Amino acid sequence: MARTAIKQAKKPGKQPTVAKDERLIRFYRQMLKIRLFEEEVNQLYLSARMPGLAHLYIGEEAIAVGVCEALRRDDYITSTHRGHGHCLAKGASVDKMFAELLGKEAGYCRGKGGSMHIADQDTGNLGANAIVAGSAGIATGAAMSAKMRGSQQVAVCFFGDGALGQGLLYETMNMASLWKFPVIYVCENNQYNEYTHYSETTAGDVTARAAAFGIHTASVDGQDVRAVHSTAVKLVNSARSGAGPAFLQCNTYRFHGHHVGDIDRAYYRSKKEEEEWKTQRDPVKLLADWLEKNKLADGKLFQRIENEVSAEIKAAVTFALNAPYPAADEVDKHVYA
């Protein structure tokens, strides 16, 4: 079992000062929450209690937490088909998340969005998107709005390495650079475009693509939440001050398949490769080990956090399973074309 933090609402404006060790413990708790949430999602699928598929974020938790912890509550994010981690890291509640996955009325989109279309405007989450790179225009538009209103808000656009093959991403980056929009493009490079290694589909250097538009770029170890967070803070503060967009590549790895039904992955990546990432590069364990080494936490604290988060997840699943479905006459409501 991986060892993940109680959500703290972030208010607009300057964030309160938090001791370094307290902040890192929160990072750990948040990552564990995402990990345990996703493990439960997989069980709901395997037990045929969840309709449709889900794309698990297990292995990539450090990116969502590291970036979202650098944001204000009123800052914006847009997400992807692998978006549960982003939703939770930005402040979504697990009970409404599970309700949405199960198609229940209590879900964030009243059960109509499902796994790949969860949105939560109260926390600045403008929505997940099943279309690869589909949210690039939404995030860039939100950043344009923030600049026009002078709100000092920042937008973050999360996307995978597969989005590097979509023209929309480059069109929006070009516009953002020209007009200095406060948007951060975060590429979660988990090495594979579905079932193909990105090196077979993506020519040249990833960050050089953004640099060609005059956008400041950075690349970090996406398994190290401390590195992701420290870099994200600099990029977000720069964008908020009016310096324009940035591009952050986070090198990471999805521990499970492309989706929950992708069980046998031997035909496109080796078991040895998977095992090395899981045992040596697990972001939750890496932070736990660092905290223990620096005497900021111990096994008792980790166990207490795991017990608390596990209880929260269990209660949320029970809530979602018992929640009612939306009424049949809602079928044509909240739907736009």
67-78, pLDDT tens digit by residue?
999 999 999 999
Reduced DSSP (H G I as helix, E B as strand, rest coil) percent helix, strand, coil of the chain, to 5: 45, 10, 45
What is the per-residue pLDDT across 251-267, written as a single tens digit (0 to 9) for each? 999 999 999 998 889 88
Q: For the chain, what is the mean pLDDT?
A: 93
Tokens (6 digits) for 32: 């564990």
What is the per-residue pLDDT across 162-198, written as a single tens digit (0 to 9) for each? 999 999 999 999 999 999 999 999 999 999 999 999 9
CA gap 333, 186 in Å, rounded? 33
User: Cβ of 199: how many Cβ atoms within 10 Å?
Assistant: 11
pTM: 0.92
Distance between terminal CA atoms of the chain? Answer: 44
For the CA atoms of 62, 63, 64, 67, the dihedral, rounded to the nearest 10 degrees, stands at 110
Tokens (6 digits) for 119: 């949105």
